Amino acid sequence: MNKPILSVTDLHKSFGPQHVLKGISLDVQAGERIAIIGGSGSGKSTFLRCINFMEMPSQGRIALDGHSLGSVKQTRAGETRVNYAERELCQVRARVGMVFQQFNLFPHMTVLENVMEGLVTVKRAAKTEAREVALSQLTKVGLSNRLDAYPSQLSGGQQQRVAIARALAMEPEIILFDEPTSSLDPELVGEVLRSIRVLADEGRTMLLVTHELGFAYHFATKVIFLADGVFHEVGTPEEVLKEPKQQKTKEFLRRFNEFAF
Amino acid sequence: MVRVGGTLVNYIWDFSAVFSHADLLILGLRNTVLLAIVSIAIGLAVGLALAALLLCQYRVPRYAALAFVEFYRSTPPIVHFFWFYFALPVLFNIEMSPFAAAVLALSTQSSAFYAEVFRGGILSIERGQREAGSALGMTKAQAMRRVVLPQAVARMIAPLVERSFELTKTTALASTLAFADLLYQAMMINSETFRPLEVYTLVALMYLILLTFASALARIGERRAARWR
């Protein structure tokens, strides 16, 4: 096994009294594509959002390329706490891309400006250079003909493809997809999934939280079933989706297939 | 024709006496505009600082700003005029010109209202916008400057303009400090010409034209700030 590019150790997350993640550990190798499935409220989005610190983990460590993030402090009560400096978090987030369920495009910027924004503001790239990169990413998701449109003029599927291009422009080492098709009309899901599959073919490292089990089956190198804040079952798509061993996984899949035809 | 006490009165409008004092009215208009612009500028700057305090994560500055805002929201502006002009010299031996007192009264009061507009505008931007910025690696300050503020400003323009109109009309209170604003000049001309209907009608017209013009400018600005909608 190579050294993992992302390593999560004993991750916990609580919102007030609610203990959402109860000790999650995961090593991600370069080129792996991990699909995370589970019922709503199981904590799968929270887990993904902890990886790039959209949510601050309550406990546990995250390491990127072998470097543990944050610094451990002892509190007066004798507990250990991990503190994160804003600068370190910004550097991590620039290396870990994220695509949101609600797209979250910047409505006051054109398609092109949206994709250039990270390069110009965060990476301090020259405008011409940023334009070049943005253009090639937008071409990849098939939107090079809508450069000057504003997000409000695009369909949901188009907006999500712009969001994918925006994340890609930063050349992230890992891309996190947080239910990227869940707020799309059914007929628009396909175009977004096709864009994601292009990235898979490029050998990119990706984590995908999804309800599209069919896509997870074809896309992922590893599937994780998350329930009650822990990994209940981990394996190849074949193992988890076709021959699940855990009772909970079986029930979840049965509920999912209830109205299949 | 106006009916007064059962008889018809033919009032003959005569602006000639008023027009002969046009220079006084022009001066009044100039002073009103000057007072409004200076007060709006200072009010906006202080309001922005107050909004930053209101949104601050620490309790002490937040409560201090909140107390300031509440105080100015809940007290009539004429009291502030009197306070700065009449009370400060008595209590603290601080004397100032009517203009300075009026600017202080107007800008502090409107800063409280502006602060609320700024705060509301910033809070109205969805959390996902800030998250999308920080997910790209932006610092909090960068996400505020590049993502939140441009959108918030577009939403703030209308209430800010509304507030500034309110302020411009409140400048008339400066006449109580014998500041030569438009209303004060009108009172002066009236006491000389005894033509209150003409004087005050004309003054109302001047306010109307001034603010209608400003309103047109504001609408252009608003459209520019939100051309993406």
As a whole number of angstroms, the distance between CA B100 and CA B102 comes to: 5
Q: Inform me whether the pLDDT recorded for B6 exceeds 70.
A: no
- Residue B7 pLDDT exceeds 80: no
Give per-residue pLDDT as tens, B91-141.
898 888 889 889 999 999 999 999 999 999 999 999 999 999 999 999 999
> Who among B128, B147, B229 is closest to A152 (CB)?
B229
Q: Do A93 and B142 touch (CB under 8 A)?
A: no
Q: Residue B98 sits in which domain range?
A: 14-225
**Higher-confidence residue: B88 or A76?**
B88
B6 occurs within a structural domain: no
* CB-based contact B101:B81 (threshold 8 Å): yes
> Does residue B2 carry a pLDDT above 90?
no
Rounded mean pLDDT, A71-83:
80
Residues of chain B found within 8 Å of residue A121, distances taken between Cβ atoms? 136, 138, 142, 146
Residue B2 lies in a domain: no
Task: Express each pLDDT in B141-188 by its tens digit.
Answer: 999 999 999 999 888 988 998 889 888 888 888 888 888 888 888 888
The full set of domains in chain A, from first to last, is: 6-257 (3.40.50.300)
Q: Is residue B9 part of a domain?
A: no
Residues of B at the A interface (Cβ-Cβ below 8 Å)?
126, 128-129, 131-140, 142, 146-147, 150-151, 154, 226, 228-229
Domain of residue B188, CATH code: 1.10.3720.10
pLDDT digits (tens, 9 = 90+) for A29-47: 999 999 999 988 889 999 9
pLDDT of B114 reads: 93
Q: What is the pLDDT of residue A230?
A: 92
Nearest-5° Cα angle at A174, A185 to A169: 70
Per-residue model confidence (pLDDT) at position B182: 85
> Which single residue is written with the structure tokens 């690696």?
B137
DSSP per-residue codes, A153-221:
GS-HHHHHHHHHHHHHHT--SEEEEESTTTTS-HHHHHHHHHHHHHHHHTT-EEEEE-S-HHHHHHH-S
Average pLDDT of B205-227?
86
Shortest alpha-carbon distance between residue A127 and chain B (Å): 15
Domain count across chain B: 1
Asked whether residue B7 is domain-assigned, the answer is: no
| pLDDT in the model for residue A89 | 93
